[in-house]
Amino acid sequence: MKRNSSHQFATPARRDFLYGMGAGLGSVALTSMLRGSAFGSTLKTVHHPAKAKRCIFLMMEGGPSHIDTFDPKPELVKRHLQKFTRSGKEESAMSSGDRYFVKSPFDFIKAGKSGADICTEWEHLKNQVDEICFFRGAQVESVNHPTACYQLNTGNRFGGDPGVGSWVTYGLGTENENLPGFVVLPRASYPQGGAANWSNGFLPAEFQGTPLRPEGSPILDLSPPKGVSRERQRKNLDLLSSLNQQHLESRAGRGDLEARMSSYELAYRMQMEVPGVLDLEGEDKRTLESYGIGDSKTDAFGRKCLLARRLVEKGVRFVQAYAGNWDSHDYIQRAHGSLIKSVDKPIAGLLKDLKERGMLEDTLVVWCGEFGRTPDNGLRGGGQSYGRDHNAKAMTMWFAGGGVKAGHTIGATDEIGAEAVECVHHIRDVHVTLLHLLGLDDNRLSYYHAGRYKQLSQFGGTVIDDLIA
């Protein structure tokens, strides 16, 4: 049947664009609208004066070794390759049986005015240690990657709960209604546990993390279809809105329809805002070089770090950037050495750039993995092939900016790095402290779900005052 010309807006290609947006940009926008506000655009009142306004979370997925990065253990030099046998119900199968102590293959120095311990592989970060607060007292509960990642990112080892960034945006809202409040910069392969690491969980869908694809278009449908101008797109959306409004008037209280209508508008705005934020070519040569962009070893993570700065500068509350894989069970000198080189310059460039722009003071930067590593190994093959196994009882994480004690090292592990023994805190206390720095009280930042009020810490935690300036 011949179509009336007044209905030509419904041709398949344009219908696919308007209604098929769920596979890309439209789905990002829609999930942000389920409570009627663009990505939580209403700024919310903090529970107490905040030291930080935003957070950049650098996630070293796989479990970086504290012993080979920021927590040197001379005792392991004395015990290197000493054999012993470990058994017991409390130990995992991975760390039981015949074991060998292994020294670090790297040298350490005392860097900066603070005299921070740092492996010499960190050629650039050593110049930024006076901005950093190293914390050696953190512990988690699991030595399995998926459950440890879930606990670090959501507070719950079993997944299904909101990510830290989701809680932050739920509590604070966003400063830019044209951008997501919580953005994730993953690797091409997602971390173990997948997208549940940045899920909104039981919070409204607007608070889930928005991952930007590392290759190709960062978000699908970011650009209008070929041949569709902004003016034509605007007219299409206006017509669709008028039809939806007529439909809504006879169906009062349909929040899902209202959300879908608003999502189209947000998607339209994001198409204008996002490309400019993602375009790094406008940065000067000195800035690009400082992040290691253009160098094959550092380009990938350098782009993530620079993009993180640009995103928080534009009002995004929480950006999480992933690097890995740090799961070095063998050949740790080669594996960790390569990984450190890939993130060293980008991270140092990020801290320096934030400080020069006056942003470090109110931007909290966090560096960590899901757990630390053991001082011993089953010695796969002997010689220089050794590595380390998973260790939930000892790990080093560090913080910079956002009200932490710059140039300090807090907490300690035992003489071989097997367990935290000073200023020991469960990861829930780290979460509570992170929220506290952002002006949020974990006990008051709750959401009613499944018959009770829930919170990031699961059942409460303690602010680690030793970390706060």
Confidence of residue 39 (pLDDT cuts 50, 70, 90): very low
Q: How far apart are CA 166 and CA 80, in angstroms?
A: 44
What residues does 425 pair with on adjacent strands? 138
Torsion sign across C-alpha atoms 142, 143, 146, 149: positive
8 Å CB contact between 409 and 117: yes
- CA 304 from chain centre, in angstroms, equals 11
- Condensed to tens digits (0 to 9), the pLDDT of residues 275-292 reads 667 788 889 999 999 999
What percentage of residues in the chain have a pLDDT greater than 70? 79
Q: Is residue 2 part of a domain?
A: no
Q: Give the angle 344-347-353 at the CA atoms, nearest 5°.
A: 135
CATH number at residue 158: 3.40.720.10
163: CB partners within 8 A, 6+ apart: 153, 154, 182, 197, 198, 199, 200, 201, 208, 209, 320
Q: Is residue 166 part of a domain?
A: yes
Instruction: Provide the mean pLDDT of the chain.
Output: 85
pLDDT at 69: 98
The pairing of strands 108-111 and 97-101 is unpaired
Give the number of domains in the chain.
Answer: 1
37 Ramachandran zone, left/alpha/beta (phi>0; psi -120 to 50): beta
Q: Is residue 298 part of a domain?
A: yes
Q: Say yes or no to pLDDT of 4 above 70.
A: no
Q: What is the mean pLDDT of residues 397-411?
A: 98
What residues does 412 pair with on adjacent strands? 422
Q: Is residue 317 part of a domain?
A: yes
Q: Which helix (H) or strand (E) holds 395?
A: strand 395-400
Confidence of residue 215 (pLDDT cuts 50, 70, 90): low
Rg of the Cα trace of the chain?
Answer: 24
pLDDT at 391: 96
pTM for this prediction = 0.85
Q: Which of 39-53, 266-280, 406-420 has the lowest mean pLDDT?
A: 266-280
Q: Is residue 256 part of a domain?
A: no
Q: Is residue 245 part of a domain?
A: no
The most confident of the ranges 100-104, 214-218, 226-230 is 100-104
8 Å CB contact between 267 and 21: yes
What residues does 54 pair with on adjacent strands? 363
Alpha helix positions (H), 143-186: 145-154, 164-172
Q: What is the mean pLDDT of residues 71-95?
A: 83
Q: Say yes or no to pLDDT of 465 above 90.
A: yes
Residue 60: phi, psi to the nearest 5?
A: -95, 80
pLDDT at 453: 96
8 Å CB contact between 28 and 296: no
pLDDT at 43: 66
Q: Is residue 1 part of a domain?
A: no
- Condensed to tens digits (0 to 9), the pLDDT of residues 218-264 reads 665 556 667 767 677 677 777 777 787 777 777 776 655 665 665 56
Torsion sign across C-alpha atoms 133, 134, 140, 146: positive
Range of the structural domain that residue 186 is part of = 45-216+286-467
DSSP class of 182:
E
Q: Which helix (H) or strand (E) holds 137?
A: strand 132-139
Answer with the residue of higher pLDDT: 365 or 260. Answer: 365
Three-state DSSP class for 101? strand
Q: Is residue 21 part of a domain?
A: no
Residue 190: phi, psi to the nearest 5?
A: -65, 155
Q: Say yes or no to pLDDT of 375 above 70.
A: yes
pLDDT at 241: 74
